[in-house]
Amino acid sequence: TGEKPYECKQCGKAFQFPTYFRKHERIHTGEKPYKCKQCGKTFSCLTSFRSHERGHSGEKPYECMKCGKAFGCPNNFQKHKRVHTGEKPYKCKQCGKAFLWPSYVRKHERVHNGEKPYKCRPCGKAFSCRKSVQIHERRHSGEKPYECKKCGKSLSSLTSLERHVMKHTGDGPYKCKDCGKVFNCPNYLQCHESTHSGEKPYELSICQMASRDPSVPEHGGIIAEVQVYLGGVVQTQGGESRELSNQRRRRGRWVGRSSNHPEVAAAPAALGTASPRH
């Protein structure tokens, strides 16, 4: 019927089933009744708890019939199947963007409304995503609950572990069409593919040096989030500023990390800019 008789008294959100309602209430109360015996981590949701335990054991009982990829979490398995079908049934009401999973829609909607309901307990920093605050809090605690079985390295998140394991196996979700080499990050693949095409899309106007790498490390990392040099002060897009060191000023380095800053035109011409080549 679509009726949602269970309403949260704290935020007004309504639910169709009492189990979902009780799970939601734990967001407000902070209750986490499920505890991992191996690392002591606690969870508010039984499904999340069981998926976490599989991270320790390495068990992945859910296997995709199309590509053979296995998962320890049933939700992740369901999301993965939509990669093959292309199905994105959940849409943002404000911009119409479609998503594989309802949690992705809720996360995305916070971009529009600016909501950040999850706060770090040690420092108070707010996040729009629960997983982000959990990973952030491990910076304070030093907790690294995910261990690589190949080399013993410990990592703070399951995503980091999965990417790390790819280094051992040589597997990766992003594959080069020319040579078949695989990568665990789309940016790495894009940079690699330019070695086949010979394309060098980034140019530094001070020396006309062209590069395939958008970070251009030997020139102070000019591309990725520009900080504009104005009168010895570096100004960032967020309005923050800091004094350049005397050493950097003598070298004439313009340390920046983005090419779309509104004040790029105001930077001294002698320092140059990094921009895509045409």
**Exposed/middle/buried for 168, CB within 10 Å: 0-12, 13-18, 19+?**
exposed
Confidence of residue 253 (pLDDT cuts 50, 70, 90): very low
Tokens 């990568």 locate to 183
Asked if residues 256 and 227 have their Cβ atoms less than 8 Å apart, the reply is yes
Question: What pLDDT is attached to residue 233?
Answer: 40
Asked if residues 148 and 165 have their Cβ atoms less than 8 Å apart, the reply is yes
Kindly report the average pLDDT of the chain as a whole number.
74
Taking 50 as the threshold, does the pLDDT of residue 273 lie above it? Answer: no
d(CA 99, CA 113): 18
What mean pLDDT do residues 228-253 have?
39
3-state class percentages of the chain: helix first, strand second, coil last, to nearest 5:
35, 15, 45
d(CA 48, CA 248): 49
Confidence of residue 92 (pLDDT cuts 50, 70, 90): very high
Question: What pLDDT is attached to residue 203?
Answer: 53
Question: What pLDDT is attached to residue 258?
Answer: 39
